[in-house]
Structure 1
């Protein structure tokens, strides 16, 4: 985005700053994507880590806050925002320390707190999020261009909503921490601040004063009436591109909508395996009561895991189309997936989803003829090219992987240790790892199931 803006505006840019994960600029250059790097108008704060809060997160926030605060009437601040900003840019509310913020961030990540819930907590502990940056820039105008890793309706809240109003409350942040049993584990200063702000908010009733002004802590209001937020890219755009490509290839495809907005990798792997069994049962369907009973049984299992009857009917429809055309079925999933940290291994949500799916497929494969008669492959990737901070985007998965012993350990042992990266690294010399290099784009994770009848 920075390079495009530089090409468009050129010398009109007075000052440019880009806060990026450590090493990402060099990684773009090393992977042959140097044309994505701005040439002269941007200073790089190449010191952050998009997966955790660090000292550099505070220094970056202070630096860009200083620029915003220096602006005056007639100036224009253009912000280019994508996923990862919640940890790349952090400015804790006093009296919180950086250590307090780092602690609560790590606790939320390790306990599988949903991304939107993490962002809500971030905003209620921050001076810069929830519209804070726009407020600092006033009276200058702010134009914010956003690449979203959130559902479209929430796209303005990417990276904690630096330039968008926020109606969340400290009480909601407290409830999220309590929901995941973090009330006793989080730093006392964090709980005390949220409780204090929640009490003051309750007594003053100043939330949602107007569409553009929101109370966000003692004696503070966030005014973003000076801001235009433009969502330039979302996961929906990427999914449409995949569907179009499938259409051109004659492959029946569907974007699967899950009723659950957030699942952990174990739940997601189980659901993907269950849906795979459902599709294979349809692709190998015989007109007898035994087959119909199997289909109904797995359909009910999918519903229990959050699928709707409407979605399953659509999957059944395209499976029938695929059967008639003797083509594979392609199913695309783009819901958020979190990791519950139990071990000390290395990986990310996409690799762990791949491994969990492989294990669940293996368990079902032995018992179901439909799965044995079909080929099921899963592609699980992070759109930014760095799953969980590793140097890979994700992995390809199938049931055969789960039968392999890798360096003396089973697939389940790797999964239990959150070590999906090393499983795939050492499995057939990394054959199933997907390496794209950094893409410069973060529009959420994608899981793509491709299922075909082996007899076609």
Structure 2
């Protein structure tokens, strides 16, 4: 297989993973029975607008209305459901105003109505209604600290739920008496935990009584005093309740779709898991080691094989902050560890089309990527230390730019080992 053919195969696997999570294809089969009254659609996430449109297509004869919030640039045309746009990954005033609108719409539901909550990754930042003792400016500062903290997504969401009126079941509690609430969700988190997807606005908070002081310590002295007081104070009592929660797309589904593309090309797929976590640079080294073992010893599988994995790595930013997200950081670390090993190719990208805050979903690396960087006068190790992976792959022409995909089942990684 030529390098160009290897790149094409990796790209095809990634796009198959994205397509498997397309709300237009996946959502209709998970809808509940049609309501006797109205269907009020609410929700938030990078896929929220696409999900709302899918509901309208599936139910053209139902009395539909409502409000959903999506990221700037992720809106799609809808007929009955209002789409609001807001900032991600750091919340803004538009998101706060739209969240109040969502809560008010949910509260107006009554007997015989169905409240359909459409939840996807990105909803934590987009649907923001701070604790009464917290300002929006405080919430923005907390979000910035979380993004740089290196905390696992599970721990980030413990903080987010405690500081919010909408997360951790807050949206569910706002739904008007007598209405039925059903959540349709696209998972972007390890383990597909409903309490972690968009910080669980329609499910009880499992960490409501947990001592969060170790996490407060991790966030350091820049944590706003009001947030610190809330997180260290007595946790509020949040009621437990029954809920109807339906996952319409998950990282595992995406990996299985990519595996089918590999099989069709005569490549053995080996799924390593949909919930891999850890520092992106460290995971890159580990995955390079597994790829080398496959190439040299035929373990855990012999070439031709592709190692597929999903999950959310983290990047802990300290002294230097260049351009890049966790996927390009993973790839740069992986490339350095592989050191030009022959016949090993890799792709890592975010299925929402945006790695971190950049305009690329991720990148593809070939065995000659370090040589290309050196010829351009670039030092990959320095770039990695400065979290500047985007600049390396932008210069070498290896970035993947899809634009917003309007879905999000977290990160997709594939290492292709050829004979």
Give the TM-score, by structure 1 length: 0.76
Counterpart selection for 1:160 from 181, 196, 199: 199
Written as runs of structure 1 = structure 2, the 5 A alignment for 1:12-411 is 12-25=62-75, 37-46=76-85, 48-139=86-177, 140-155=179-194, 157-169=196-208, 171-178=210-217, 181-198=218-235, 217=236, 220-225=237-242, 227-257=243-273, 261-283=276-298, 315-316=299-300, 318-319=301-302, 322=303, 328-342=304-318, 343-362=320-339, 371=341, 374-403=342-371, 404-405=373-374, 408-411=377-380
- Structure 2 residue aligned with 1:414: 383
Q: CA–CA distance in 2 between the matches of 1:447 and 1:280? A: 18
Q: CA–CA distance in 2 between the matches of 1:190 and 1:407? A: 46
Q: Secondary structure at the match of 1:356?
A: helix
- Structure 1 residue aligned with 2:401: 435
- Kindly indicate whether residue 87 of structure 2 is the aligned counterpart of residue 6 of structure 1: no
Q: CA–CA distance in 2 between the matches of 1:103 and 1:172? A: 21
Deviations 1:278-325 (A, max 9, x none): 112214xxxxxxxxxxxxxxxxxxxxxxxxxxxxxxx52x32xx4xxx
Q: How far 1:335 moved relative to its partner?
A: 2.5
Higher relative contact order (CA 8 A, sep 6+): 2
Q: CA–CA distance in 2 between the matches of 1:446 and 1:83? A: 14
Q: Secondary structure at the match of 2:374?
A: coil
Find the structure with the greater CA-based Rg.
1
* Structure (1/2) with the larger helix percentage: 1
Q: How far 1:115 moved relative to its partner?
A: 1.1
Moved more, 440-449 or 146-155: 146-155
Give the TM-score, by structure 2 length: 0.82
Q: How far 1:276 moved relative to its partner?
A: 1.7
Which runs of 4 or more aligned residues in structure 1 lie more than 6 Å from their structure 2 counterparts after TM superposition?
none
Q: CA–CA distance in 1 between the matches of 2:351 and 2:62? A: 31
Q: Secondary structure at the match of 1:436?
A: coil
Q: How far 1:38 moved relative to its partner?
A: 3.6
- Kindly indicate whether residue 419 of structure 2 is the aligned counterpart of residue 450 of structure 1: no
Q: CA–CA distance in 1 between the matches of 2:84 and 2:61? A: 21
- What stretches of structure 2 of length at least 5 have no aligned partner? 1-50
Number of aligned positions between the proteins: 366
Asked if 2 retains the 8 angstrom alpha-carbon contact of 1:134 and 1:223, the reply is no
Q: Secondary structure at the match of 1:109?
A: helix
Pair 1:152–1:269, CA change in 2 (3 A): closer
Asked if 1 retains the 8 angstrom alpha-carbon contact of 2:327 and 2:349, the reply is yes
Q: How far 1:244 moved relative to its partner?
A: 2.1
